Amino acid sequence: MLRNLTRQFQHVSKLSYSVEAKQQELRLYDEIKIPVPWGEIAGKWWGPKDVRPILTLHGWQDNCGSFDLLIPFLPKHLSYLTVDFPGHGLSSKIPNGSFYHGMDGPIMIKRLKDFFGWNKISLMGHSLGAITSYTYGFLYPQTVDFMICIDGLQPLINPKPIDSIIKSIDDFVKFEHQNSGDTDPPAYTLEEMAKRLNAGTRGSIDIDKCKYILERNILPSKNCPGKYFFNRDSRLKCGSLINWPQKDLLEAAKRVSFPIFISKAAESPFFSNKDYYETLFKILEENNKRCEFHDVPGTHHAHLNTPEIFKDILPKFIEKYDTEDRTMKTNLKNKF
């Protein structure tokens, strides 16, 4: 299905994909599925199977296709495991009646680390994926060899936590009721899908790059031939029930002693209080000499729209701090 969708996206778009196609040829991947108690975590394994990968996590309501154009710019002797969060992409949705509560991501990282038997873990994330990586990092700093946070860092802080929790509960009941109904989800053509995704991200994802997200986020409509619907879990729209106090996050920042790469796109908004971020940055900088900050051009999805802006700074960081043994002690053939 993915190949068929790719051909259709190319047909719909009037833009040339020659450059992107050339990039894709530089790095092949295998689709994988990792068992979890409620189903599967889906993802892509890029590079050699006997090398511990950099675990790579996407943003909210995106999927691992978000990194399809960035991976080819990274060191080719390494491996990259890009996964879909639960309820995103091709990963299983959590059971009915369950809530995406904000710690699902760090728990998923722990599950994957234990599943593969890694002694150390390397993390790269964008937006929610960066927040999730950072949260795991200050909880389990001794297990992280290095981390890359692209346009995201600390967990979001809501100045009105009680109001936020009430809204999250109300939204959960609403979306759960919608999921259990008999009404078919709205269906659109691929071109309409791309426009809706572009508009939904406020132009953050360029129209011609939307296909990399949509390939894993949509399914064909049974009742409307030639049209598709979004298959991501609508419960993802509910806000988190967790609200970290800023004082706890500032204290947690002192635990981050591993090498960490942080980038912020010029056209991307701060998703929390800007002063909170600047205070956190200052603590990280004062307590961690292996902390790097990079201002980059572009939107919140700069890593997808213009991945070439990372082609020098990211490989340099990875090669500098890739010092741990990456030999895989587990035969992947016995895992899948």
Average pLDDT over all residues of the chain: 88
Two tokens, residue 222 = 């049974």
- Return the exposure string of 240-260: e unless at least 16 CB atoms fall within 10 Å of the residue's CB, then b: bbebbebeebbebbeebebbb
pTM for this entry? 0.90
Domains of the chain and CATH, by start: 2-334 (3.40.50.1820)
Contacts 24+ apart (CB under 8 A), 229-233: 229/184, 229/185, 229/186, 229/187, 229/188, 230/185, 230/193, 232/61, 232/87, 232/88, 232/89, 233/86, 233/87, 233/88, 233/93, 233/94, 233/100, 233/179
Q: What is the pLDDT of residues 153-197, one digit of tens each?
A: 988 887 778 888 898 888 888 888 776 656 678 899 999 999 999
The bridge status of strand 144-150 relative to strand 291-296 is unpaired
Q: What is the residue-level pLDDT of the chain in tens, covering all 336 positions?
A: 444 554 454 433 333 333 444 444 445 899 999 999 999 999 999 999 999 999 999 999 999 999 999 999 999 999 999 999 999 999 999 998 888 888 999 999 999 999 999 999 999 999 999 999 999 999 999 999 999 999 999 888 877 788 888 988 888 888 887 766 566 788 999 999 999 999 999 999 999 999 999 999 999 998 899 999 999 888 888 888 888 888 999 999 999 999 999 999 999 987 677 888 889 989 999 999 999 999 999 999 999 999 999 999 999 999 999 999 999 877 666 666
The letter for the amino acid at 34 is: I
